[in-house]
Structure 1
Amino acid sequence: MNPFVHKTLVVQLLAHGTGRCPVLAHLSYDADDPFAVTAVFAHDGHVLASWRLDRQMLSDGLAGPVGVGDVRMRPEATGLWHELRLEFLGDVRPDGGRHHAVVFAWAPAIASFLRETYQVLPPGQERVRVDELLEEILSAAE
């Protein structure tokens, strides 16, 4: 079985003053990094941002609000349209504030992506290869 899952979605970036604009979200999962989902946001061939998200947090965000740090998620519904709202807080700006981005993704597409990752590695079966990590750290210190 392929240990990778990749899905490209069209999501909506909330831009202040102009409303929502479509961007691509490239989601990827690698069983060798079992707890993380990488999200790369792009527009017109340019990468806007790249984030590593917690797979369980992404799943939990479909059901209710999660996150207290730089990444926050919550479900949002407008009639029959169900979305996942992702908020990202970035680097500090010169004025002391922080860069802030809000992205809306179609919740069923996120759920579908997560189901594919669960086929590769079911929740609860993730393992951290501590021995290999320690060996790598110790060999670099020599």
Structure 2
Amino acid sequence: MNTVVHKTLVVQLQAGATADRFPVLAHLAYDAADPFALTAVFSHDGRVLARWTLDREMVAEGLTRPVGVGDVRLRPESRGMWDELRIELLGDGRADGERHRAVVFVWAAAVDAFLRETHAVVRPGREVVRVDDFLAELTAEG
């Protein structure tokens, strides 16, 4: 059984104060070894723009209602005939005291399909946390 799921999507990035959107790639990954997490790597022209680790359950909930506080906020949005997942990401501080901010819009059906693939690997509620393995890894690192 495959324990890793990958999907690459074209998403729309809205950066800064402008309402303009730009297409970028989102490389989504799920690994049963870290069953609660999804990784999203955003890239453009072969350059990695950002890498985020997101909570799988939060992403699923974000398809139907606003969720998240702090650095990551998700909510469903409709744009014409398309349903989207709006992902707001807050980054490091800037010189002016504000924080870097990006908003990514993803076709909701594509996110739902990716989540269904991850659920085939580890069903929600069946995630296992191996605390002893985690502690052994921490103590081995010194």
The reply to whether TM is greater than 0.5 is: yes
Number of the residue aligned with 2:14: 14
Task: Specify the SS of the correspondent of 1:19.
Answer: coil
Number of the residue aligned with 2:71: 70
CA drift of 1:140 comes to: 3.4
What is the distance in 2 between the residues matched to 1:7 and 1:46? 18
CA drift of 1:124 comes to: 0.3
Q: Hey, which bits of structure 1, 4+ residues long, moved more than 4 A?
A: none
Number of the residue aligned with 1:61: 62
Number of the residue aligned with 1:88: 89
What is the distance in 1 between the residues matched to 2:36 and 2:50? 20
The one-letter amino acid of 1:71's match is V
CA drift of 1:14 comes to: 1.0
What is the distance in 1 between the residues matched to 2:43 and 2:141? 35
CA drift of 1:22 comes to: 0.3
Within the alignment, does 1:3 sit opposite 2:3 as a pair?
yes
The one-letter amino acid of 1:17's match is T
Gaps of 5+ in 1: none
Number of the residue aligned with 1:120: 121
Name which of structure 1's ranges 78-87 and 25-34 shifts more when overlaid on structure 2. 78-87
* Residue-by-residue CA offset, 1:34-93 (whole Å, 9 max, x unaligned): 000000000000000000000000000000000011000000012321000000000000
- Superposed CA RMSD in Å reads 1.1
Q: What's the TM-score, normalizing by structure 2? A: 0.95
Task: Specify the SS of the correspondent of 2:140.
Answer: helix
Task: Specify the SS of the correspondent of 2:21.
Answer: strand
Identity %, equivalent residues: 64
What is the distance in 1 between the residues matched to 2:4 and 2:66? 27
Gaps of 5+ in 2: none
Name which of structure 1's ranges 18-27 and 101-110 shifts more when overlaid on structure 2. 18-27
